[in-house]
Structure 1
Amino acid sequence: MKRLSALFLVGVMAISMAACGQMSGSQESGDPKTGNQEAEVQKADSQESDSQQPDSQESNEQEDTNETYNFKVSITQAPTDPLAAYTQQWMDEVTQKTKGAVNFEFHPNGELGTINDVCEQISRGASIIAYAGPDAFSSSAPDLAILNSQYCLTSADQIDAINQSDWFKEQAEKLAQDGNTRILSWNFFTGYRHILSKTPIETPDDLNGVQIRVADSPAAIAFVKALGCSPVVTNWNEVYSSLSTNIVTACEAPLATLYSSSLQEVAQHCTLTNHLVSTGMMVIPEDIFTSMPKEYQDILTDAVYQAGVDFTQDSLSSELEYRKKMEEAGVTFIEPDVNAFAEKASSMYSSGELPFSDGLYEEIQNIITR
């Protein structure tokens, strides 16, 4: 009996040990079904992680694209000047096409200072876009000023030839690199400049000793000196008061600018000297421009260029209209021998007062006559 009991106990222990072995094996190797479920969970986690990575990159790119750029826009002309309307045109277009990412605050009438002052601020990286003449950059691209020199260009048709020339592209790059100033577009033809005076000017000799307002430009100053005038440098928004108080007795500008500034109220004689193909440019700090997304750069440059094209067409078609308006306001127009004025003014190019490279005048003449 005792023997049978011992055998029974041995059998029970063997069965228990076998069962424990099976349980241990199941825990180490894992249930096939349970293992597959865990693998699917890991795979799903991996896929979710992978899918989140591009979303994160896209979010970062979206943040960069959504950065806003706010500029003050400066022109010295009055808000009634046609230039103001076409400046507003490109500002509105850019803001709309960038969905508000590029915004502007408009400052006409020289509210931000003289052209030279504002261009100096731009060269230092101020968030300003300004309308300026090519003679505003004497420290970094002095040869550009030839484009704003009297009797150098003779027709608005020559603007495109200059824009497409290697010389102009080199000058624009020089200005960007040395002056931190990007030319957005040089194609804003404001009209042919003429002389408005308080006394009749029929020949160059009539200008001897005349106090005439000019911009702070070496070429403008050299021009009126060559004609025998005494230059008085003031900001454009001071011309009306200067004529009213006889600080000056003459000024020079396109007819649209003269009329929109109401100068026909204080000076009654306009001599059609056609001494300048007055063309300006819009400029922006180079460092800010290059920081903008390429899409915004293209939108801005395209809008400014097209506004310049439209403005030029307006200027070409409106000169007769402004002459009529000024005549109705009592202005007498004089059509002189323009060649006589050009011949007397030509001494400005040999006076030594202009900082141009040797042979530059001849180079420009070659460009516009090809």
Structure 2
Amino acid sequence: MSKIEDAKKNITRRQVLKIGAAATALPLFSIMTRPANAAEFTYKFATGQDPTHPVNKRAQEAIERIRNATNGRLEIKLFPANQLGSDTDLMSQIRNGGVEFFNQASVVLSTLVPAAGIVNTGFAFHDYKEVWAAMDGPLGAYVRAQIEKAGLLTMSRPWDNGFRQITTSTKPVKTAGDLKGLKLRVPAAPMLTSLFTALGASPTPINFNEVYSSLQTKLVEGQENPLAIISTARLYEVQKFCAMSNHVWDAYWILGNRRAIERLPKDIQEIVRRELDKAATDERADIASLSISARNDLAAKGVQIIEPDKNSFKDALAKGTFYKDLRSKFGEDAWKLLQNSVGSLG
């Protein structure tokens, strides 16, 4: 080998070594790309419902569809059954970004957004035909606007929390008079507290994660919830009677932390809303079906099903200032939207 060829080889070797040394000196992030299966955004979705509840079933399905439609860019992890805190804790977390998505009932959301509680007006809705005409129409649009004024985003049409029923362990509730002095658990929700106070009961606000133990230890005699909750939370184990009062219909709102949602690219935001809207439709059908099967299941488990005199409740409310007070609280415009859907109240 000639001296010239040898020199060329040495220069080439030195260049390779130099390039290799420079590469090892570069920061790791400058030469590595994001793994193909790593999410660009990782968010938390909290609920208060038991894992078997349709809310969690449909939310998980939506999460999987979102992951697939975004090619894994958005990864959402579901935390059911108040794993990340009580309803009141999670209300704070969704506002400060501790969680990015949260499923909340109107009755509890009304503590932050009073207008959300208008859908919980006692004995307002007669059936689901009235409910969905209102909630997918002007009344629902009004409530969504008020929620968003409070700094939260509503991520879909409202989901169904169902019509609420009364369960007790000490005596059946057949008329409004049977509620007199009854110590009844309610959520930390002014609408339900005022309703049962007007009916003569003794409403006791307790977070849902403490309901079973409160009934078991007889801290309270009864509680009120939709049949789906009574069934999936196994409240039938500590209650003897279920009065089909249909006293309040309640919505579930899928809430989003505004900053977290606005960080997502527009195409991902659209996918999230699309899939949660589909989940809303599916969950509504689930609750309608479950309300029928849950009633039969509760009866099979020994719970006595009562068909109370609903007129006695309405008459008791009409004798006082219950509806008049609500009309003043929500204002004429909102009250008109409600009455356009359900007819005259009070």
Whether 2:209 is the aligned partner of 1:237: answer yes
Q: In the TM superposition, what are the counterparts of 1:106-185 in structure 2 within 5 Å?
A: 106-138=78-110, 141-166=113-138, 168-176=140-148, 178-185=149-156
- TM-score, normalised to structure 2's length? 0.80
Alpha-carbon distance in structure 1 between the residues aligned to 2:40 and 2:332: 44
Alpha carbons 1:187, 1:312 under 8 Å: kept: no
How far residue 351 of structure 1 moved from its aligned partner, in angstroms, is 4.5
> What corresponds to 1:333 in structure 2?
305
Which amino acid counterpart does residue 74 of structure 2 have in structure 1? V
Structure 2 residue aligned with 1:98: 70
SS at match of 1:274: coil
Counterpart Cα distance in 1 of 2:79 and 2:201: 32
Q: SS of the counterpart of 1:131? A: strand
Q: C-alpha separation between the residues in 2 aligned to 1:298 and 1:160? A: 23
1:166 deviation in Å? Answer: 4.4
Matched, 1:349 2:320: no
Distance apart, 1:273 and its partner CA: 0.3
Contact (CA 8 Å) 2:62, 2:279: kept in 1 or not? yes
C-alpha deviation, 1:350, in angstroms: 3.3
1:206 maps to which of 158, 178, 199: 178
What residue in structure 1 maps to residue 340 of structure 2?
366
**How far did 1:139 drift?**
6.9
C-alpha deviation, 1:295, in angstroms: 1.2
Tell me by how many angstroms 1:255 deviates. 1.1
1:221 aligns with 2:208: no
Question: Which amino acid in structure 1 is aligned with residue 339 of structure 2?
Answer: Q
Corresponding residue to 1:312 among 284, 292, 308: 284
Q: Which SS does the other structure have where 1:100 is aligned?
A: coil
Shift of 1:138: 4.5
After TM superposition, the score normalised by the length of structure 1 is 0.76
**Cα distance in 1 for residues equivalent to 2:328 and 2:48:** 24
Q: Say which of 237, 244, 251 aligns to 1:265.
A: 237
Query: 8 Å contact 2:111–2:189 — kept in the other structure?
Result: no
Structure 1 residue 88 and structure 2 residue 41: aligned? no
Match for residue 74 of structure 1? 46
For 1:333 and 1:324, how far apart are their aligned partners in 2? 9
Cα pair distance change 1:179/1:256, threshold 3 Å: same
The whole-number CA distance in structure 1 between the counterparts of 2:327 and 2:203 is 14
* Count of matched residue positions in the alignment of Structure 1 and Structure 2: 305
Matched, 1:188 2:159: yes
Contact 1:131 1:281 in 2 (8 A): yes
The answer (yes or no) to whether the contact 2:46–2:99 under 8 Å persists in 1 is no
For 1:208, give the aligned amino acid. Answer: K
Secondary structure class of the residue paired with 1:247: coil
For the 8 Å contact 2:240–2:303, the answer to whether it is kept is yes
C-alpha change, 1:170 and 1:263, in structure 2 (3 Å) is closer
Confirm whether residue 252 of structure 1 aligns to residue 196 of structure 2: no
**CA RMSD after TM alignment:** 2.5
Deviation, 1:73, is 1.2
Judged with a 3 Å threshold, the aligned counterparts in structure 2 of structure 1 residues 292 and 263 are, in CA distance, closer, same or farther, namely same
Q: 1:259 to 1:136 in 2, by over 3 A?
A: closer
Cα distance in 2 for partners of 1:163, 1:69 equals 31
Partner of 2:8: none
The CA deviation at 1:337 is 1.5
Distance 2:146 2:225 in 1: 29
User: Structure 1 unaligned runs (5+)?
Assistant: 1-61
Select the residue among 267, 274, 278 that pairs with 1:295: 267
> How far apart are residue 165 of structure 1 and its match?
3.6
User: Bigger radius of gyration, 1 or 2?
Assistant: 1
Tell me the amino acid that sits aligned with residue 134 of structure 1.
S
Instruction: Give the partner amino acid of 2:280.
Output: G
Q: Is the 8 A contact 2:244 2:308 kept in 1?
A: yes
Alpha-carbon distance between aligned partners in 2 of 1:139 and 1:190, rounded to the nearest angstrom: 17
Distance 1:149 1:128, change over 3 A: farther
